Amino acid sequence: MSKKITTLKAVIFLLCSVFLLNSCDTETEKTIPKVHTVEIKQMKFQPAELIVQKGDTVVWINNDIVAHDVTEEPGKAWTSSVMPVGESWSLVVTQSADYYCNIHVVMKGKLIVQ
């Protein structure tokens, strides 16, 4: 009885391994989403223009001395809400967008999906 269970466990383990290996193979064929970082510093988004692939994640980090936000322009389709100093906020990018800081409207940035 216990030998059967051991064999069964071995078969399940083997099937899982094959499955995992297969999913690894298919993963390498796709474009693996990247994570990009935009630093907010000295009242600027750095870099202000960022070229990304669809599905990539952009992380904004507020390394300035005042609070900022990241808001889509012109429709406010998405917003980080207020980001205190030291906070970060991320977005999975599906389309190109212009954005700005709703607190300091002169601060502008751009996401370009290629």
Which residues here bind Cu ion, judged by CB under 5 A?
68, 101, 103-104, 107
| Residue 6, CA atoms < 13 Å, CB-side half-sphere | 3
Smallest distance from the beta carbon of 88 to Cu ion, in angstroms?
Answer: 14
* Closer CB to Cu ion, 44 or 56, in the complex: 44
* Closer CB to Cu ion, 82 or 113, in the complex: 82
Smallest distance from the beta carbon of 112 to Cu ion, in angstroms?
Answer: 21
Q: Look-up: residue for tokens 């099937």?
A: 15
Alpha carbons 46 and 27: distance in angstroms, whole number: 31
Smallest distance from the beta carbon of 80 to Cu ion, in angstroms?
Answer: 11
Respond yes or no on whether the N-terminal peptide bond of residue 84 is cis (omega within 30° of 0).
no
The DSSP letter of residue 33 is: P
CA 9 to chain centre: 38
Q: Which two tokens stand for residue 93?
A: 């990018």
* Closer CB to Cu ion, 52 or 102, in the complex: 102
* Closer CB to Cu ion, 107 or 111, in the complex: 107
Smallest distance from the beta carbon of 104 to Cu ion, in angstroms?
Answer: 4
